[in-house]
Amino acid sequence: MQTKRWKDAKKLAKNLKKALTSCATCAIIHSVKGRYKKNPGQKEVMNMAKAIATYKCPDCGATVERSIDGFNRRDADSKKEWAEAHPLLCADCYRKQQRKQQREAAAALSLPTIHGVSEKQVEYATDLRAKFVAQHEKTVADAIATRDDPDKQAAIAAAAEKAGVTIEEFIRQNLDKFPYKWLYAAYVVSTATEARDIIDTLTAR
């Protein structure tokens, strides 16, 4: 008798658990559906809208078209008016501005003069170096400090001599590998004078 009652109780508990789980699932589904279902006659609060702002680039005067997203038509139009009243640089002028700022930041550091086989190669290496400096300013500054520290240079030279390789080879063997490649790049940026060395190092990262 007790065995039969135990089985009946166990079966009842199982059915109850199944029923509760089913109800909870239905409640979640209906909740989600209700959240996104538009009720008849209810005014839609958010209806995403787009607008196109048209203005002149402040630097070169080129016509710029900028896509504007708004929560609704009124919001999109308001943002469009603001964008046209506060014009931004076109893509070309923005890139030129970024390039100028990066070069100025790099020029403020004591970096070597770059030499190359052509002016175009030197310009390319200069831009790559300036961009790297902008992205890793502190690391490059530390590399320059190490380069200009006689004690650290003596320690590196002693370690290279012990290993039977040049200083450049010693640094390359120890830093030109994951996860230290960016440290090796900072070393090259702070010491290299040949455009090809800078280009090869920074484009291989």
Within this chain, do residues 151 and 64 fall inside the same structural domain, yes or no? no
Number of domains observed in the structure of the chain:
2
Residue 73 lies in a domain: yes
Mean pLDDT (the chain) is 83
Q: Which two tokens stand for residue 146?
A: 């190490």
Residue 24 has pLDDT above 90, yes or no: no
Taking only the tens place, the pLDDT of each residue in 84-99 is 999 999 999 999 999 9
For residue 165, give the DSSP letter: S
Q: Six-digit token pair at 92?
A: 């070309």
Q: Does residue 169 fall inside a structural domain?
A: yes
Q: Residue 65: what pLDDT?
A: 94
Domain span at residue 117 reads 93-203
**Residues 166, 98: one domain?**
yes
Domain membership flag for residue 159? yes
- Structural domain includes residue 41: no
- In the beta sheet, which residues pair with residue 51? 68
**Are 182 and 140 in a shared domain?**
yes
- Please indicate, yes or no, whether residues 194 and 138 belong to a single structural domain of this protein: yes
What share of the chain in percent tops pLDDT 90?
64
User: For residue 11, what are the CA distances in angstroms to 5, 18, 23, 152, 183?
Assistant: 10, 11, 18, 78, 67
Q: Is the Cα torsion angle 168, 115, 197, 117 positive or negative in sign?
A: negative
Q: What is the pLDDT of residues 129-164, one digit of tens each?
A: 999 999 999 999 999 999 999 999 999 999 999 999
Same domain, 162 and 174: yes
Q: How far apart are CA 185 and CA 171, in angstroms?
A: 11
73 with 99, same domain? no
Q: Is residue 113 domain-shared with residue 190, that is, in the same domain? A: yes
Q: According to DSSP H, which parts of the chain are helical?
A: 2-36, 73-85, 91-107, 119-135, 137-147, 150-163, 167-175, 181-191, 195-203
Is 22 domain-assigned?
A: no
| pLDDT > 90? residue 34 | no
Question: Are 112 and 194 members of one domain?
Answer: yes
More confident residue, 125 or 24: 125
Spatial distance between the Cα atoms of 62 and 10, rounded to a whole number of angstroms: 78
Q: Does residue 23 or residue 167 have the better pLDDT?
A: 167
